[in-house]
Amino acid sequence: MDKELEDALAEYEDGELDVDKDKELAGVGAMLDVSGGEDELPVTKDDIIGALSDLFTGKKESIEAKIAAVKETIASKLAELKQKLEDAYNSIDWEGMRMYLWVSERVRNDTWGFDIVRTKDGVEFEVVTDNGLGDKYNYGCPAFLSTEEGLYVGTSNPFYGGQLWLIQDKSDIPEDRVAISGTVTSFLDEEARVTVDLYNELGNNPYGCDVFGNETEYEILNAEPGEYTLKVSKDNHVTREMTVVIGEYPIALDLKICPIGDVTGDGIVNTTDSMRVNLHAKGAALITDEYAFACGDVNHDGTINTVDFMRINAHAKGAAKLF
């Protein structure tokens, strides 16, 4: 909008034009009423008052005309936008979009690692492996060689290198072996993904699983013996980390994660949590549990102080949400 119009609109809205016109003009008239009489002036007082009156009227009309023009412009822009949205909607390949989402969903929920199926007649298929021969990072099997010794399979694994397998009979295919399993408890969105991952000492994440539900079973398969960092995460929760040692036998381990700010661990972030954090901040009662501490340190600066208290309190009172 141009400056002149903006000013004019502001004046109009402020009601500055709603002055008592006659009173203003009478004032102007009084100022012009110089001694010696109006007959000596080249123009009469009435001429000037008349001109000013026209100016007032003209200005008001011109503002109204500009407002009408702006309204018209807005209406035409809206019509243009509506047309563009309609064109965009009509140009979307909805069937393609549906298929894309369907495939994405399948990929997201599929078992990691490549699949091999075999068939004798092209009708009945048998799954040889659906998890990359027990290694989720075997994401493809580009090379096959059928020999008298058996079937050679070369895998694609961008994380720690390809593998060469010789499959002679079904016993060569490793059985899934549970390395660690249990219940994982979380809160908030029932449909959100919970990830349980094992990280090796190089920081790679060769084993793990995704589960859904707030109280649900998890199991991690086929992890090689060794020491790992186990991480449990979910949106709006504080990630829990711990060291686990995978050995020859399966480990049973129940896990629990809590929402950001939930120092009491009941899954709800309310004033009980903010008060608890306040007690810690004031030194009255320290939060010693490492995970509860992480839940309370909502700004991740390594300490729990009044900043954390205020944030959790604001969340509890609905003033400013943490998530």
Q: Using CB under 5 A as the criterion, which residues of the chain lie in contact with Ca ion when the complex forms?
A: 262, 264, 266, 268, 273, 297, 299, 301, 308
CA distances from 301 to 78, 262, 305 (A): 48, 17, 10
User: Least distance in Å: CB of 270 to Ca ion?
Assistant: 6
**Residue showing the smallest CB distance to Ca ion in the complex:** 264
CB of residue 80 to Ca ion, shortest distance in Å: 50
The single-letter code of the amino acid at 92 is I
Q: Which residues, in sequence order, are CB contacts of 126 under 8 Å at separation 6+?
A: 117, 118, 119
**DSSP conformational letter for 194:** E
Instruction: Tell me whether residue 251 or residue 268 sits nearer to Ca ion (CB atom).
Output: 268
Closest CB to Ca ion among residues 194, 260: 260
Taking CA atoms, 133 is separated from 111, 115, 175, 247, in Å, by 11, 8, 9, 20
Q: How far is the CB of 255 from Ca ion (least distance, A)?
A: 18
Residue 244 makes CB contacts below 8 A (sequence gap 6+) with 180, 198, 227, 228, 229, 230, 251, 253
Residue 104 or 271 having the CB closest to Ca ion: 271
Q: How far is the CB of 262 from Ca ion (least distance, A)?
A: 4
Q: How far is the CB of 276 from Ca ion (least distance, A)?
A: 8
Output 129 or 185, the one with its CB closest to Ca ion: 185
Choose between 73 and 299: whose C-beta lies nearer to Ca ion.
299
Give the shortest CB-218-to-Ca ion separation in angstroms.
Answer: 23
Sequence-separated (6 or more) residues with CB below 8 Å from residue 62 = 8
Closer residue to Ca ion, CB minimum distance, 72 or 266: 266
Which two three-digit tokens encode residue 141? Answer: 């099997």
Using DSSP, state whether 33 is helix, strand or coil: coil
The enclosing H or E element of 166 equals strand 164-167
